Chain A
Amino acid sequence: MLDDQDRRLLRQLQASDTLNIGALAARAGMTTATVSRRLARLERDGIIDGYGIVIDWRALGYSVEVSLRVTLDKTYPDAFDAFIAAARKIPQVFEIQTFLGRVDVRLNLLARDMAHYQQLYRASILTLPHIADIEALMMVANVKNSESLAL
Chain B
Amino acid sequence: MTDLDDLDRRLLAALQLDGRASAGALGRALGLSQPATWRRVRRLEEAGVLRARKVRLNKAALGFGVTVFLGVKLAGRGHVSLDDFERAVSAIPEVQLVQHVLGRYDYRLRVVARDLPDFERVLRRRIMPLPGVGDVESNVLLSEERRPGPIGV
Q: Which residues of A contact B (CB under 8 A)?
A: 2, 10, 13-14, 16-19, 45-57, 59-62, 67, 84, 88, 91-103, 106, 110, 135-151
Which B residues lie within 8 Å of A61 (CB)?
Answer: 1-2
Q: Which residues of B contact A (CB under 8 A)?
A: 1-2, 4, 12, 15-20, 47-59, 61-62, 64, 69, 71, 86, 89-90, 93-105, 107-108, 112, 137-153
Which B residues lie within 8 Å of A137 (CB)?
Answer: 71, 101-105, 108
Determine whether the beta carbon of A16 is less than 8 Å from that of B55: yes
Determine whether the beta carbon of B19 is less than 8 Å from that of A51: yes
Determine whether the beta carbon of B96 is less than 8 Å from that of A144: yes
Which of B1, B64, B153 lies in contact with A59, CB distance below 8 A?
Answer: B1
The closest CB in chain A to the CB of B101 belongs to A137
Determine whether the beta carbon of B149 is less than 8 Å from that of A101: no
A44 to nearest B CB, angstroms?
Answer: 12
Docked Cα-Cα span, A135 to B143, in Å, equals 20
Determine whether the beta carbon of A57 is less than 8 Å from that of B149: yes
12 A-B residue pairs with Cβ-Cβ distance under 8 Å, sorted by A, are: A14-B55, A17-B51, A50-B19, A51-B20, A55-B12, A55-B151, A96-B147, A100-B139, A100-B140, A139-B100, A144-B90, A145-B99
